[in-house]
Amino acid sequence: MTAHMTPPTTSSDDARWAPGSHVLWRYKENAGDRVHICRPVTVVQDTDELLAVWMAPGTECVKPVLADGSPVHHEPLATRYTKPRALSRDRWFGTGVLKLARPAEPWSVWLFWDPGWQFKNWYVNLEEPRARWAGGIDSEDHFLDISVRPDRSWSWHDEDEFAQAQRAGLMGEAKAQEVRAAGLAAIEVIRAWGAPFSDNWQQWRPDPDWGIPPLPDDWDRTPAHVTS
């Protein structure tokens, strides 16, 4: 199967991407409109209920780094969000990631595997509901996340970064309360073992004919038309 980074085949706002299409999964800065994370992905499923995409191992991505080129997470937490930053191209390391997003939900669910397709965990990434455009989706990360293990136990993740982002002025009190409430809503889904956790996605495997989507030169282009 040959996949291309192309817009949907119709001009309707409800147009869907065919399996195997290449699109961009992007995140904006938390204190600005610039895109600072961009990941080319392959569409697995695109319906009214769910967008599922695969980020293959070795995918070239864009990510923020400190101005001197060092990784953001190597910076002490107290200055992690105040040090000047730049953007860098790099390859996704390790195994691939399956990302699942349900319309209007303020989170997406990511699946990770160890080598040999040994399922590792689900990861609930709290974020703005994704804005859809012809070439992909845009969101904004909310720092706080939830890890879900195969035995269905869960734990909050990155609470220290969530708190520091508020101290650094990247998120106001009202927004932080909204994000925490979204996390609690996600936990209720986990406890009830609702979709997508109950949908057996951990048994899914990518089409062996899929290649690695390229990172286009205009990865940071402004969408001409955005829908939710």
Confidence of residue 222 (pLDDT cuts 50, 70, 90): confident
Statement: residue 110 has pLDDT above 60: yes
Q: What is the mean pLDDT of residues 74-97?
A: 95
Statement: residue 228 has pLDDT above 90: no
- Which of 3.30.1490.20, 2.40.380.10, 3.30.70.3270, 3.30.70.100 would CATH assign to domain 25-206? 2.40.380.10
pLDDT for res 224: 54
Q: How far apart are CA 191 and CA 2, in angstroms?
A: 39
Confidence of residue 223 (pLDDT cuts 50, 70, 90): confident
Q: What is the mean pLDDT of residues 9-38?
A: 84
pLDDT for res 94: 86
Mean pLDDT value across the chain: 92
pLDDT for res 24: 98
Statement: residue 225 has pLDDT above 80: no
Number of residues assigned to the chain: 228
Q: Which two tokens stand for residue 35?
A: 């895109």
- Count the Cβ atoms, other than its own, within 10 Å of residue 111: 22
Which among 157, 176, 170 has a CA at the least distance from the CA of 85? 170
pLDDT for res 227: 57
Q: What is the mean pLDDT of residues 128-135?
A: 96
pLDDT for res 1: 30
61 or 93, which is more confident: 61
**pLDDT tens digits for range 165-220:** 999 999 999 999 999 999 999 999 999 999 999 999 999 999 999 999 999 999 99
pLDDT for res 49: 96
Q: How far apart are CA 120 and CA 115, in angstroms?
A: 10
- Rounded to 10 degrees, what is the CA torsion of 35, 36, 40, 45? -60
